[in-house]
Amino acid sequence: MASSDGTDPVDGHTGLTTRGDSVQFSDVGLRYAGGDAPPVLSGVSFEVQAGELFVIVGPSGCGKSTLLRLVAGFLEPTEGSVQVRGSAVRGPGPDRAMVFQSVDGPLLEWMTVRDNVAFGLRLQARRERRRFDPRRVDYWLGVVGLTQAAGKLPHELSGGMKQRVQIARVLAVSPSIVLLDEPFAALDAQTRRLLLQQVSDLWQSEGGTFIYVTHDIREAVMLGQRIGVMRAGPGSNFRSIHSVDLPYPRDDFAPEFGEVARLVETEIIEEVTRSWRAG
Amino acid sequence: MARRLVKHRMLAISLLAVLVALGLWGVASRSFNPQLLPGPDRVLTGALELAASGRLLDSILISLQRVFKGWLLGTAIAIPLGLLAGTSALARAALDPFIHFFRFVPALALTSLFMLWFGIGEGSKVNLVAYAVAFVVLVVTASGASSINRDKLLGATSLGANRWELFWRVVLPATFPAIFVGMRLALASAFLVIVAAEAIAAQEGIGFLIWNARTFFRTDFMFVGILCFGILGFASDRIWMLIGRTFLSRYLTGLGSY
């Protein structure tokens, strides 16, 4: 991989200009407008360390993505606070960029792959009143293996390639926190496996805090330094948070891997059955 | 190569269909009074007569001018309003009652009023076309702007776009397909209304030609006018599609081939 030594040829430091920020949830609750419906989240407290790769799993509809959207600043908590680097999150910003599950939604379909990756960088250059440096785009296109496809439009790409464009455009703006919301859920198994490896490599080589939401237990154990298992909603929060002390790259055929996976799976199944009984 | 062959074959089928229709028209016209249904030959003679006197070309040019001026004026007013209504809840609340009130007031109902307000010159005709065009473009633009994928907008803001940048770099280009389609549909509305605009207080134009033909019971002239509208409309539509494919193709990838 182009970034294996972690060095950005452009200005001589790592691709991400940050080693990551911490995220702190203190007693966070979220209730959608109206107020009569039960809350989506309730009493969520946890901290993601700076530079950590934290994975969130849980039964579908439990509010995993909602947690991520709170960090991104797309939503505001109705109770408690979400803090990044010690100060409350106020709206979205490029320090917390997000890779979305949707393959066709987020990319700008009238822009080439190159321009999509350059999108955030151009805005950044404008804000800082300096000239936009196209070499940074080249660098990130290389990292995700899209140099050949740089001139193509998104509709000419496969799903896996589109998700790589999303990853590149997010990492290009040097976010201190990278949010990934089931980014590979819509892809086939082989592509998912390869891209998962790529995310793991990127996190190790580039650094930064990664928060990864998935419903796939294998993905979770493959990636997470810690795995947070959420309860079934409504009023969801973390049932448990597991540290995974396995070296990267992880071998999903190893017995230790299976142990962790089984543990996490058992908890999720318990949550699902509990919600079925309740519902 | 194969695709090109298919395209040629489709063109041949279209041409054949037109020839068959002309043939049927010719056959049918034999069993009717030519004053009621003139055949293709009589219409052609009528067209040549009008062409020779210069009236045909003059009518075409003046009508086209009115259609396109009105179309552009209506579009120019509708696009900003449509974008506003489609993206801002506040603007939408303020504009919606008027949009959906006037949208159902036919341009035909306003013909006489517009003559009184804007005079019997070009102003009233162009404004009437603009009126009819504006609501089509407005509604389609607003609907397009309001249905932009949420993740596209959130993604751009999370990459650092402020409201201004979001509008110019994401919302506007993402609405191009809707604007393009809206303008295409509005083109038909423009042709529809020009007949009404030229029915009253006009001394030239294809609409006038048709209305005037009534006075002299020249059904062949009426047919010439009708054919003119159809052909001009068809050609304008093809040209608009060609413009889209040539200059806007990267924005229109989501549109079908029709």
**Is B150 in Cβ contact with A92 (below 8 Å)?**
no
> B140 vs chain A: nearest CA distance in angstroms?
20
Q: CATH number for the B51-251 domain, one of 1.10.3720.10, 1.10.10.10, 3.50.50.60, 3.30.200.210? A: 1.10.3720.10
Q: What percentage of residues in chain A have a pLDDT greater than 90? A: 81
Please tell me if residue B17 touches chain A, with a CB cutoff of 8 Å: no
Sorted by sequence, the CB contacts under 8 Å of residue B209 that are 6+ apart come out as B50, B55, B59, B221, B224, B225, B228
Nearest to A207 by CA among A8, A48, A20: A20
**Is B152 in Cβ contact with A105 (below 8 Å)?**
yes
Condensed to tens digits (0 to 9), the pLDDT of residues A132-156 reads 989 999 999 999 999 999 999 999 9
Instruction: Give me the pLDDT at residue B16, please.
Output: 96
Handedness of CA A145, A148, A154, A159 (dihedral sign): negative
- CB pairs below 8 Å between A and B: how many? 74
Condensed to tens digits (0 to 9), the pLDDT of residues A11-54 reads 444 355 567 899 999 999 999 877 678 899 999 999 999 999 99
**Is B251 in Cβ contact with A98 (below 8 Å)?**
no
Q: Which amino acid is residue A156, in one-letter code?
A: E
Which residues of chain A does B152 touch, with a Cβ-Cβ cutoff of 8 Å?
105-108
| Complete edge-to-edge strand list for the sheet that includes strand A209-213 | A98-99, A177-181, A209-213, A53-57, A226-230, A238-243
In whole angstroms, give the CA distance from residue A71 to residue A6. Answer: 26
Q: What percentage of residues in chain B have a pLDDT greater than 90? A: 86
Instruction: Give me the pLDDT at residue B28, please.
Output: 93
| Cα diameter, chain B | 72
The domain spans of chain A are 23-97+177-278, 107-174
Which range has the worst mean pLDDT, A25-39, A261-275, B15-29, B138-152?
A25-39
A23-97+177-278 in CATH: which number? Answer: 3.40.50.300
Which residues of chain A does B253 touch, with a Cβ-Cβ cutoff of 8 Å?
109-110, 153, 155
**Closest in A91, A106, A110 to B155, CB measured:** A106
**Is B169 in Cβ contact with A72 (below 8 Å)?**
no
Which residues of chain B does A98 touch, with a Cβ-Cβ cutoff of 8 Å?
154-155, 158
Q: How many residues does chain A have?
A: 279
Please tell me if residue B106 touches chain A, with a CB cutoff of 8 Å: no
Please give the C-alpha separations between residue A108 and each of A15, A103, A236, B175, B251, in angstroms, as whole numbers. 23, 11, 34, 12, 9
Please tell me if residue B154 touches chain A, with a CB cutoff of 8 Å: yes
Please tell me if residue B172 touches chain A, with a CB cutoff of 8 Å: no
Which residues of chain A does B165 touch, with a Cβ-Cβ cutoff of 8 Å?
123
Neighbour-count burial of A131, counting CB atoms closer than 10 A to its CB (0-12 exposed, 13-18 middle, 19+ buried) = exposed
Q: What percentage of residues in chain A have a pLDDT greater than 70? A: 92
What's the pTM value of the predicted model, to 2 decimals? 0.88
**Closest in A104, A109, A124 to B160, CB measured:** A124
Residue B198 token pair: 């030229």
Condensed to tens digits (0 to 9), the pLDDT of residues B191-243 reads 999 988 898 778 899 999 999 999 889 999 999 999 999 999 999 999 999 99
Mutate to test the interface with B, among A119, A124, A140 (most CBs of B within 10 A): A119
**Is B173 in Cβ contact with A123 (below 8 Å)?**
no
